[in-house]
Structure 1
Amino acid sequence: MRKPYYFLLVLSVLTLFTAYRFADTGYQVGDTASDFKLKNVNGQMVSLKDQKEAKGFIVTFTCNTCPYAKLYEDRLIQLHQKYAPKGYPVIAINPNDATASPGDSFAEMQQRAKSKKFPFVYLHDESQEIAKRYGATRTPHLYILTRNGQDLKVSYIGAIDDNSGDPEKVQKRYAEAALDNLLSGKAVPQPTTKAIGCTIKWRNNS
């Protein structure tokens, strides 16, 4: 009588583990982020180590199709324009599987970058390996990395601000507060927030 119960218990645990397989994995604040090499919309391969002059990076997992991601595009442009000259450029990465979301294909990325005149790189995480490594689950999902010697330390993870729908009603600019403190040599007051956006479109075999 116990065998069926035990089987169901194990099956339930495995199901929960599968459903949340990225929730407890990926980088945490204070971790060292490893480098990657991904294709930019201009066809060139981009890695973080090649940008030796950067003090850090605003790594943002985003996409073409998510309404939340679209709402934050102009704010990402503003973040790049404000902080890239200070050493923190935006590194935008599209992790969505194009089979599950055709509007997120590389060709569509190129069109989106052109139409929005992105001043930052827009990289294609075709294998979804980098999104999994970071532990990203949403678009947008933002990670601020800070250079510490030869390492890149994760200093902030989460949302860009507290109002996805209306930039005029933003009360807390989480990313800007983190960056301003880092540039002043201070600790980030709120190093983690909840990312608000669409779930990443994973491959069926992920």
Structure 2
Amino acid sequence: MDLCSVDPGWARLLQPMAAELDAVGEFLDHETEVGRPWLPEPEAVLRAFQTPFDDVRVLIVGQDPYPTPGHPIGLAFSTDREVRPLPRSLANIYRELKDDLGIPPAAHGDLSAWQRQGVLLLNRVLTVQVAETGSHRRHGWEEVTAHAIRALAERPQPLVAVLWGKDAASIVPLLGDTPVVVSPHPSPLSASRGFFGSQPFSRVNAALEAQGGAAIDWRIDP
């Protein structure tokens, strides 16, 4: 898989994962050959790694892309601007954002404004078969993203990790001393069990400032 489209810092750090990336690429080629379409579009698969490595201040960990054509754009929890209605997990994130910081929900689901401020929206698995959530697990992506997470945690720069749900919380051993904000997943199945009221956005900003970093402007359309 070609790293030319990613940030040069990430390209260098992911080079030791060349064999794993090649294996994932071969798997995706095979899926295409046998008629199993997958998402997101090829040019968006590594989009999260366009966030400059040295600029990452917040890591938000997702599971895998939305499995609906036209929805995923390569950033965890984010959708194409034209998607209506918003995925329910994202709608719950917006609800908590309003309750936490008073920011009104955006009309669209494109979280690029967060990415531009150094928020790495990283799924553990970067592709998915259409209509089959979790279908590309255990094909190499987990090793690649684990390597990326370890690299972030080893930097001296301020960093906070946001871990929503059990899958995300499982990466805690990769994070070293990185401060974490942990809660249930924003999915409709679990949001009422502790995601609502968890104040992740204000907690992230407090943790960044405690490390000498700048707060994130969490508005979607600043």
TM band (smaller chain) = 0.3 to 0.5
Normalising by structure 2, we get a TM-score of: 0.34
Normalising by structure 1, we get a TM-score of: 0.36
Q: Please state which structure has a larger fraction of its residues in helix.
A: 2
